[in-house]
Amino acid sequence: MRQLFLTAIFACLSSAVGFGQVNESLLFEITTDARGAGLGSSVLADLQDDVHGAAYNPNLIDSTKLGVVAFDYVDYFTGIGLASVNYQLKPKGAWRRQVGVRFMNLGEFAGFDAAGNATSNFNGGDNMAYFGASKNLDSTWRIGIQTFIGTRSLNREVAAWTGLECFINGQWPQRNTAFAMAVTGWGKQWGWKGSQPSGWLPWNMQIALTKGFENAPFRVFLKGQHLERWDLAPPGTYDDAIDPISGEVIQNSTFKLGDQLMRHMTIGTSIELGDNMTIWTGFDYRRRTELMATERLSANGLSFGSHFELGQFELRISRSRYHFAGASTQLGIQFNPSRFKRS
C-alpha cells in the first residue's frame, strides 16, 4: 500500500501540465463542513480527528466513532444548495476507511427553444461519491488516499468525472502542532451528452499548519491553497489606471507581492468555551478582495460558527460572508444510527 500511495502522489504531481481545461465544481471549492467554513476553509491539519472534516481529508477519520454518520448542508445563493454525507467504515488491517457522497443542486431553470418559445423547466447539479483510506506510518505521520467519481448535468448536458486525492499529515501533541500537505481535485472530466467538454479538472495543492497553546483555550489554523499557481489575481489587477478626464496615469498602489501571497491564505481561530461548545472565526483574503464592491467592503471574507452537543447529536452551524448582498449558512449534524435501534 505504501508503494501505491507514492505512485499516486507521483501521478498527481507529474500530470500537472494540461490541467484546468474544464470548470471546477463548487463541490471541490466550497466546504460543506460547518467547522471548516467557520475557520475560513476546509480543515487540512488538525490536532483532533473529525468525522465531518474527514470528508475532505481521510487522515482525519476518527477510529473511535465507527458507524457515525455526519450530514452537512450549505444554503448557498439563488437557490443553490450543497449537501454531503460521510460514513466511517470498520478498519481493514492498518487502514481506516470511509465512504461518502456530495451533492450540489443548481435549482430550477426556465426552458426556451431557439425561437424564444417557453418549454418545460429543467434542473441542474453536480454529484460525487468517494472512498477514502488512511494509515499511520508511525506515531507522528499519516498518509491518506481518496478516490472520487461524479457527474455534472444541466438539462441534457451531462459530463462524468473521476479522480484521486493524496494527503500526508503530521501531529506533535506535546507541542500542540499539526502539519499537512495535500493534492486535491486531481482528475479528468469526460463529456458524455450534449456539448459538455472533456479535459483535466482544476487541482489544488495545499499546505496547512495548526497551532494550539498550552495554557490558552484556542487554536490557530493557517492554510495555503492553490499553491500550484502563484498568481491568482484576475488580469489587470496590478495595472495602472488612467484618469478619464485629465488623462493622467494613476499609479496602482497595491503591494503586489503581499497581495499575491495573501490570495493563497486563509486563517481561522477555534475558541473552546467548555467541553461541549466551541466558537470558530475565519478570514479568507482572496474572497474578501475579489468580491469587494466599490466603497462597500462590508464584512465579506469573514466567517464564524459554533459547535454544541444536544443529547445523542452533535450540532454545527456557521455563516460565511461573501458579499455585502448576503452570506451563506452551513449546518451539520453527527449521530450514531445504531444507538437508535431497539434492543
CATH code, domain with 275: 2.40.160.60
Instruction: Determine the pLDDT at residue 3.
Output: 46
Closest-CA residue to 126 (of 31, 197, 25): 25
Q: Is residue 242 part of a domain?
A: no
How many other C-beta atoms lie within 10 A of the C-beta of residue 191?
15
Give the domain range for residue 15. Answer: 2-110+122-227+264-340
Rounded CA gap, 21 and 203, in Å? Answer: 11
Q: Is residue 234 part of a domain?
A: no
Please check whether residue 48 is in contact with residue 212, taking contact to mean a CB–CB distance below 8 angstroms. no
pLDDT reading at 277 higher than 90: no
How many structural domains does the chain have?
A: 1
CA dihedral 28, 34, 40, 45 (to 10 degrees): -80
pLDDT tier, 254 (very low <50, low <70, confident <90, very high otherwise): confident
Rounded CA gap, 303 and 154, in Å? Answer: 31
Closest-CA residue to 52 (of 62, 39, 66, 40): 62
Comparing 61-75, 142-156, 242-256, 289-303, which segment has the lowest mean pLDDT? Answer: 289-303
| Residue the block writes with cell 431497539 | 342
Host H or E run for residue 36: helix 34-38
Rounded to 5 degrees, what are φ and ψ at 43?
A: -80, 130
Rounded to 5 degrees, what are φ and ψ at 9?
A: -60, -45
**pLDDT 10s digits, 71-118:** 999 998 877 899 999 999 989 999 999 999 999 998 877 777 777 777
**pLDDT 10s digits, 115-144:** 777 777 878 899 999 999 999 999 999 999
Q: Is residue 333 part of a domain?
A: yes
DSSP designation for 339? G
Within 13 Å of residue 31, how many CA atoms lie on the same side as its CB? 25
Q: Is residue 237 part of a domain?
A: no
Query: Which is more confident, 94 or 340?
Result: 94
Q: Is residue 305 part of a domain?
A: yes
Q: Is residue 303 part of a domain?
A: yes
Instruction: Determine the pLDDT at residue 279.
Output: 94
Instruction: Determine the pLDDT at residue 38.
Output: 94
* Cell numbers given for 211: 497551532
Rounded CA gap, 340 and 310, in Å? Answer: 15
Please check whether residue 219 is in contact with residue 47, taking contact to mean a CB–CB distance below 8 angstroms. yes
Mean pLDDT of the chain: 86
Rounded CA gap, 295 and 330, in Å? Answer: 28
Strand-pairing partners, residue 13, are none
* CB-based contacts of 312-317 (< 8 A; 24+ apart in sequence): 312/336, 312/339, 312/340, 316/33, 316/34, 316/35, 316/52, 316/72, 317/34
Instruction: Determine the pLDDT at residue 10.
Output: 41
Rounded CA gap, 204 and 266, in Å? Answer: 14
Q: Is residue 256 part of a domain?
A: no
Q: Is residue 250 part of a domain?
A: no
